[in-house]
Amino acid sequence: MSQLQAVRGTQDLMPAEARRHRFVIDTAREIAARYGHAEIATPVFEFTEVFARPIGETTDVVSKEMYTFKDRGGEEVTLRPEATAGIARAVLSNGLTQSLPLKYFYSGPMFRYERPQKGRFRQFHQIDAELIGPAQPQADVEIIALGADILAALGIGQSCELQLNTLGDTASRQAYRAALVDYFGRYESELSPDSRDRLGRNPLRILDSKDEGDKRVVAGAPSFEAYLNQDSAEFFAAVRRGLDALGIAYTLNPRLVRGLDYYCHTAFEFVTDALGAQGTVMGGGRYDGLMEMLGGPHIPAVGWAAGIERLAMLIAEPPAGERPIVVVPVGPDAELPALQLTQRLRSEGITVELGYGGNVGKRLKQANKLNARVALVLGETEIASGTVVLRDLDKGEQEAVALADLSGRLAQLR
């Protein structure tokens, strides 16, 4: 029988990795709460149209990467490839469009069938922040500031660069799209197959191509700035003024795009080269057209998502949990009293381990493996006298402590 393996592109989060993931999520949750973001959780799978309709049937995500299947009832469902569409659906289906503005924080697994590589999996995890309702540029500034604060709290803010661009409003995008189609059409034979495919349906995505031949063509492409109307230019200027006022540094990147039609105005990414080649650790933008595309009213919104796997690779080793206390019974008659003592201490909020077998020496060795702070040895003598032997494993010292005084003594050592 061959050895069982995890499915390609998935991973087991063993305790050390799980602790790093948990630190990322807990830190982000705490910072998001300061900004008024309430936590939300949506289903891991949705009706396929929740993703296919806004993302687009012809995009790589929908056509190549989504895990889509029919359930036993014949409904076509999809494991979520991203969080935003599901959150937008939740707002609409729960009748929350009259309760704006809404601020949400989310964390959880996503699924995409793509080539696994460092920091990228087929089941991966994201944190996500959404600000739904405000149309003002101040909302864009606030959502970026939230992301910057989370990265700073994780200790990686200095190694991440904020890149910023504007996608303009619908009129600006349409004018720029026409200019790109005209420009790239003259060089169509020099474009990669993917970019030729995008030319008719999503030309802005060509600007983000990683193909070297495409990059040479893109270098001469017209700039979006020349096609921004006054309203779009003023919106972007207000975002920049807000970031400047908060002291959030950024670099303008005119090639930073979001190719889907419901994106507009601000687009941004926090990028780093700390993992080798420059990669995005957090990305987002304004998506004023998404709710409407899902069948709801026109509702402005802005948000971002960040990959937990990449963030976990960047952070320093998070602080370890509280060192445990180990209870060591001596002899069969001490087993039940030791079990009772263990539960008493746990009810007081203390982390306690109880050895399951072996002599005292073996149990104390196990205590050292667990990096225990204290071992409490309980035998017939201690049971008769209402005491316990407290062994300080750091100092190698021990003392008899009355059970009535034990909690106070342990508090001094924790």
CA angle (173, 176, 177) in 5-degree steps: 80
Taking the CA of residue 368 as centre, how many other CA atoms within 13 Å lie in the half-sphere pointing to its CB?
A: 9
Winning range, highest mean pLDDT, from 141-145, 203-207, 370-374: 141-145
Least confident of 24-33, 188-197, 252-261, 403-412: 252-261
Residue 60, pLDDT above cutoff 80: no
What is the extent of the structural domain holding 238?
A: 15-169+229-314
Q: How far is Cα 308 from Cα 391, in angstroms, rounded to an integer?
A: 40
Taking the CA of residue 287 as centre, how many other CA atoms within 13 Å lie in the half-sphere pointing to its CB?
A: 28
pLDDT bin (cut points 50, 70, 90) of residue 255 is: confident
DSSP 62: I
264 and 308 in a single domain? The answer is yes
336 and 376 in a single domain? The answer is yes
353 and 303 in a single domain? The answer is no
Residue 258, pLDDT above cutoff 90: no
67 and 160 in a single domain? The answer is yes
pLDDT bin (cut points 50, 70, 90) of residue 58 is: very low
301 and 338 in a single domain? The answer is no
Number of compact structural domains in the chain: 2
Domain end: 314, 337, 363, which one?
314
Query: Residue 132's Cα: distance from chain center in Å?
Result: 19
Mean pLDDT value across residues 358-371: 83
Q: Which pLDDT score, from 0 to 100, does residue 89 have? A: 96
Domain end: 269, 284, 314, which one?
314
Q: Which pLDDT score, from 0 to 100, does residue 204 have? A: 83
CATH of the domain at 63: 3.30.930.10
pLDDT bin (cut points 50, 70, 90) of residue 2 is: low
Least confident of 12-16, 106-110, 298-302: 12-16
Identify whether 152 is part of a domain: yes
Q: Which pLDDT score, from 0 to 100, does residue 287 have? A: 94
Instruction: Single out the residue of 288, 308, 342 nearest to residue 173, CA to CA.
Output: 288
* Token code pair at residue 92: 């609409």
Q: How far is Cα 73 from Cα 257, in angstroms, rounded to an integer?
A: 39
Which positions ≥6 away from 370 have C-beta within 8 Å?
324, 326, 353
CATH of the domain at 331: 3.40.50.800
Residue 259, pLDDT above cutoff 80: no
- Kindly report each contact of residues 146-149 with a partner whose C-beta sits within 8 Å and lies 24 or more positions away, as own/partner: 146/31, 146/32, 146/35, 146/37, 147/270, 147/282, 147/284, 147/304, 147/306, 148/248, 148/270, 149/31, 149/34
